Structure formats: structure tokens, C-alpha cells
Structure 1
Amino acid sequence: METLERTQTRIGLTEVDRAKVGTLIRASHRHVMDLETVLPWADGIDFSRNPKLETGSWIYGTEYWDALTPEQRNELLWKEVARDVSMFIWLEQSLPPLYMNYANQEPFGMLPEVYEYLMIFSREEITHTLMFRRYLDLAKLPLFDPPRGAYAQFTRQLPEMHPVLGILSTLMLEWVAELNAIYLTQGRDNEPLTRKMFHEHHIEEVRHIAFGKRVVEYFFENGPAEVIDRIRGSFAPLYQNLKNEVTYNRDIARHTSFKFPIAEDDDAAVERIRQSENNRRMNGERFAEVDTWFAKLGIL
């Protein structure tokens, strides 16, 4: 995508969407997340309660789940949440330098609404990263390794490419991760601080997703057809791989206090888990919104 990368740096929006981004900007300025007060940190975390739906465990509905004790199941749910929080941390700490790079590429030619929202987006992601790190420290949960491939993409590859590719990549990861978190953690019986953390995060992420959709849709309607075809071809497998990693992540075997029943290199077992009846049902429910949108763009 050499031509796209070097000569078409402007992020376009329709007049209607510029007004919509202005609405997002005003909402962001009215409600700024404060790290000290956003969560009742002093209340601590109730580890006797599950942080997410039990049926949302990656291995629920398989013989591996059936073989665990109640204590092991509870621990597994907490470690799965730690992995999801870790993914948010690695993604969100990489976004401010990426988006500031885009703003600096075209400091005078960029639409003012886009420039301001890139700044707001970056500020909010910094606060999210600090909140998630504080949560892991308070819960004494591990920070998992960065997502394979994705972290290098955000820190080394996307800064050299067209901003729309960075915004589309961000949208894909954030939207999938956000739908997953909200689907799993907002039950009445889920651990209260964990539930509130993901809810507060969701309020700002909804605005990020709305911004990304406006930018990407404009580009797909107005960009060079040959470039868009290449984007479709490259993002389809990335999207499927992302959903696979959210459905089951092999790194979990390194972090449980008990011997995990699936080896990291057991590809057949991993595939059976990802294709379990429970996981297929959940994926159809929690990712229906983003599946529909990607299909509309011709990416699926």
C-alpha cells in the first residue's frame, strides 16, 4: 500500500459525521474519568465471587471444565479476566504514541474535529491503562504477555502506514475486546469492583468505536478500490485470529496454580475448545454487532 501510505494521509469525514464527532468531543469533555474516584479502590475485591459469568469460561461445557474443582474454576475465571485486562493494557498503552504520530503528520491540514478527538482518545487510553494496571496490582493478578503479532503491529508497523489502517486495527481490537468484556462481566452476581470497572471503561469505549466507524466507513466509500480490496483481504484473517484468541488463549496454561489440563502446544485440544458448542453460541451472541459491520464492509 505504498501510495496510500505516503501520499494520502488525510482522514476524511462527511459534514454529518464531523458534527457527530463534535458531539463525541463534547461528551468526552463533560465526563472525564478520574483515576482516583472512578472505582471504589478502598473497598477491595471480593475473590469469593466470580469476576465474569461461569458459562463464559473459555473451557466451559467441555470435559476439561468438568474435571476442575470449584476452587480451580474460580481461579480460572480470575486468570481469564487477567488475560483480557492484559490485552487492554497492551493495546491501550500503544495507542497514544500511534495517534499522536498521526496528528503530527498533518498538524495544519487535519480536520479540527479529527485532531481534537485523536487527542481526547489518547488521553482516555492513558487513564484506562493506569486503571487496568492498578486493578491487576490490587487483585494480585498477572500481566500476561502482549498479544502475538498485534503488539508489534501497533508499535512498529502502523506508525508508517495510512492512519485509516491504524484506526481500523484499533477499532477491530477494541470493539471485539469491549463486546467480550461487557457480555461476560455485567451480571448481577459478578464481583462488584470488576463489574464497575468494565462498565466505566465501556462508557468511553463506545465513543471510541463510534469515531472509528465514521472514519473507516468514509474511507471505504471514497478510497481507491484496489487499496480497499487489499485491506479486505488482509483484515479478514486478522479478524478471525483475534476472535480465536478471545475465545481461548494458550497462555492461560502458564498462569494457573494447578496443572492446567490442556498443554499450550496441543493444537487439536485448542481447536476443539474454540469450536465447542458453548463457545460457538457465545461468539454468535457477543460478536453479532461487529460481525454484521465487518460483513457490510466486505471484510468477512
Structure 2
Amino acid sequence: MAQLTTAAHVHGRTHTSADEDVSKRLLESAATLSYDPSVEIDWEAPLPDHHYGLNPEWSTLYGTRLWDEMTERQRVTLTRHEVGSIMMTGIWFEMILQQMVLRDQYLKNPANAEFQFALTEIADECRHSIMFARACEKMGVPQYKPNRAWAEAGRGFKALARAELAYGGILVAEEVLDVMQRDWMRGENVLEIVRGTSRIHVVEESRHMKFARQEIRERLREAGTARRRINGFGVAAAAFVIVSSMVNKGVYAAAGLDTERALAEVKTNQHRKSMMRTSSRHLMAFLAEAGLLTRPAAGIYRQLDML
């Protein structure tokens, strides 16, 4: 209750001293634990031929008959293109994220820790995008773009999403990738360039996820049921676009596979479904706590094997 006595009504929401304290702690963390990928990663080191792009268990085809039939060279190539596609999707969404956060902070008090951490996050995301771009170039992975429909959906989302819808979309992208990268950074048979970029991303994105959760809680503090239902569905729709775009179908041709067969096996791959549910567990728990895991939203997450 004491926290609410120092609350300020800002842009139609209640911003408390407790909210500001969270941002201050995140700023302190950023000051003591941040990385410069240009010097932290050895970009000139050769890539061992036998190292994967990601842990084989995270490949979309792992656990299928097609995976069993593939040569080791094909498996290595596929995983490098898969991680490259995921990184490209990350770059795409980080560009969307930056625009949403900048718009959200427009004309806010620059003396506030919330404002300063928001700009710190944008600076982090710029470095991350360059880091992922360099990693893809090093691995020889081409640009994998989202399909036209999803690209236009992203354009609309970054222009229209506000408050908990914007930060919910941000959180979905960050949470799912975070679980994957925690495995990749420990994978002894994974390329060091992927392990290194994953370590940096995990550390710095942990702050971004805390900030997004806090922003969602703050924006929903006085929200009614109808608003939670509408934006819960919107966050789930954003998740559908993000997750559906993570691995481009072009990765299968790059590994010398029959694309149609590969896509059919991915669709029925029970191992992959289990991994997706595992990577989404904490996200689903938070969305339920926030009142954003509505029945229609849950239906979308089940289509994505996130529930």
C-alpha cells in the first residue's frame, strides 16, 4: 500500500515507485554485466566441419525417420541453416521491438529509470541484430525472410500494438528463444560462434524479459476482463506469426532434402512438439497469471504446440 502512495498517473496508467525500482535495478545490471559481441566473439576462428549449428535435439527433424536417413553432413548443414533462420527471425522481430519501445517512450520523462532502461534495451537489441547477422554470414547462411503475409502482419503489429499487447509480443519472442539458447550455449557439439552469441543473448535478454513482464503487469493493473481477453488473443496471434516464421522451409533444400517430405515429418514430429511445450512452460504460466491466457488464446498456443 505504501508503494501506491507514491504512484503517478502517466499516459493513462499508474506508474509506482516499485515500477521505477525495477527499472533502476535493471539499469544497474546493464552497467555491470553487458557485452560487446565485436570483441567477445572470435569472428576469425574457423568453423569445425563436424560441429552443429544447434543441439541436434532442437532440430525440427530430430526424432523423425528422415533424420535417421540423413547423412551426418546433412544434419550439420541443416542445423546450421535452422539456427541461421532463427537468428534471421530474431533480427526481424528485434527491429519490430525497437520501433514499439521507442514509440512507447515518446515524450516520456527522460529522467525516469523506465525511459533510460528502454533506451538501454534498444541499444542491446541493435548489437544483438548485428551479432546475429555476422554469425549467419560466418556460417554461410543466406537471408531467410518471413513470407509476405507474415511480413505485412509484422508491419501492422509494430505500427498498431500498444501497452501489454506490444510487450506481450516482445515477451513471447524472447521467452521461447531464451530456453533454446540456454541449451545451445552448453552444447559441446555446437559451433562456438553459436554458443558465444547464445551466452550474450541469454544474459542480456534476461533483463529485457523482466522489463517486459513488469510493463505488462503495470499496464494491466487497472484493466478489465474485456481488455485482457482482447489483448490475450492479440498476443497469441503475434506468437503464431513469430513461431511459424522461426524455421524457414528453405533450410531443408539447403541440406539437400525433399522439402515437402521434410515439412510433413516436422508437422507430425512428437519430439519437436514436446520441446516446444517445454520451452513455453514459463511463458504460459506468466500469461495465465496476467489473465492473458484466455480460451481463444490457448487454442492458438495449442496449434503451435506451446500448450
Give the aligned CA root-mean-square deviation in angstroms. 2.6
Residues 284/107 of structure 1: CA separation in 2 closer, same or farther (3 Å cut): closer
Residues 60/148 of structure 1: CA separation in 2 closer, same or farther (3 Å cut): farther
Whole-angstrom distance in 2 between the partners of 1:133 and 1:39: 13
The equivalent of 1:136 in structure 2 is 136
The equivalent of 1:274 in structure 2 is 267
Residues 210/283 of structure 1: CA separation in 2 closer, same or farther (3 Å cut): same
Report the secondary structure of 1:141's partner residue: coil
Aligned length: 284
The equivalent of 1:28 in structure 2 is 30
How far residue 222 of structure 1 moved from its aligned partner, in angstroms, is 1.8
Q: Are the equivalent residues in 2 in contact too, given 1:11–1:111 (CA < 8 A)?
A: no
Deviations 1:123-168 (A, max 9, x none): 1111111111111122221121036655444444433442332222
The equivalent of 2:81 in structure 1 is 79
Compare 288-297 and 122-131 and name the one that shifted more: 288-297
Whole-angstrom distance in 1 between the partners of 2:249 and 2:11: 38
Residues 149/26 of structure 1: CA separation in 2 closer, same or farther (3 Å cut): farther
Aligned letter for 1:146? Answer: P
How far residue 230 of structure 1 moved from its aligned partner, in angstroms, is 0.9
Whole-angstrom distance in 2 between the partners of 1:289 and 1:193: 27
Q: Are the equivalent residues in 2 in contact too, given 1:167–1:216 (CA < 8 A)?
A: yes
Give the alignment of 1:51-200 within 5 angstroms.
51-104=53-106, 106-108=107-109, 112-146=112-146, 149=149, 151-200=151-200
The equivalent of 1:207 in structure 2 is 207
The equivalent of 1:290 in structure 2 is 283
TM-score by length of 2: 0.82
Residues 241/124 of structure 1: CA separation in 2 closer, same or farther (3 Å cut): closer
Deviations 1:31-66 (A, max 9, x none): 343232121223232232112211221011112212
Q: Are 1:44 and 2:46 counterparts? A: yes
The equivalent of 2:4 in structure 1 is none
Residues 297/270 of structure 1: CA separation in 2 closer, same or farther (3 Å cut): farther
Q: Are the equivalent residues in 2 in contact too, given 1:171–1:213 (CA < 8 A)?
A: yes
Aligned letter for 2:159? Answer: P
How far residue 196 of structure 1 moved from its aligned partner, in angstroms, is 1.4
TM-score by length of 1: 0.83
How far residue 279 of structure 1 moved from its aligned partner, in angstroms, is 1.2
Question: Mind listing any 5+ residue stretches in structure 1 that lack a counterpart?
Answer: 1-7
Q: Are the equivalent residues in 1 in contact too, given 2:23–2:211 (CA < 8 A)?
A: yes
Whole-angstrom distance in 2 between the partners of 1:52 and 1:257: 15
Q: Are the equivalent residues in 2 in contact too, given 1:95–1:154 (CA < 8 A)?
A: no
Compare 48-57 and 183-192 and name the one that shifted more: 183-192
Report the secondary structure of 2:180's partner residue: helix
Whole-angstrom distance in 2 between the partners of 1:287 and 1:102: 26
Report the secondary structure of 2:187's partner residue: coil
Whole-angstrom distance in 2 between the partners of 1:193 and 1:152: 31
Q: Are 1:262 and 2:259 counterparts? A: yes
How far residue 18 of structure 1 moved from its aligned partner, in angstroms, is 2.0
Aligned letter for 1:169? Answer: G
Report the secondary structure of 1:36's partner residue: helix
Q: Identity rate of aligned residues, in percent?
A: 17
Whole-angstrom distance in 2 between the partners of 1:47 and 1:56: 19
Q: Are the equivalent residues in 2 in contact too, given 1:87–1:147 (CA < 8 A)?
A: no
Q: Are the equivalent residues in 2 in contact too, given 1:96–1:122 (CA < 8 A)?
A: yes
Aligned letter for 2:49? Answer: F
Q: Are the equivalent residues in 2 in contact too, given 1:103–1:118 (CA < 8 A)?
A: yes
Q: Are the equivalent residues in 2 in contact too, given 1:21–1:117 (CA < 8 A)?
A: yes
Residues 119/34 of structure 1: CA separation in 2 closer, same or farther (3 Å cut): same
How far residue 209 of structure 1 moved from its aligned partner, in angstroms, is 0.3
Deviations 1:242-269 (A, max 9, x none): 44554x6434245x151x2232xx7xx7
Compare 168-177 and 205-214 and name the one that shifted more: 168-177
The equivalent of 1:217 in structure 2 is 217
Deviations 1:89-132 (A, max 9, x none): 1112333333222222x334x88122111111111111111111
How far residue 180 of structure 1 moved from its aligned partner, in angstroms, is 2.4
Whole-angstrom distance in 2 between the partners of 1:149 and 1:214: 31
Residues 132/236 of structure 1: CA separation in 2 closer, same or farther (3 Å cut): closer
Whole-angstrom distance in 2 between the partners of 1:234 and 1:165: 6
Q: Are the equivalent residues in 1 in contact too, given 2:37–2:197 (CA < 8 A)?
A: no
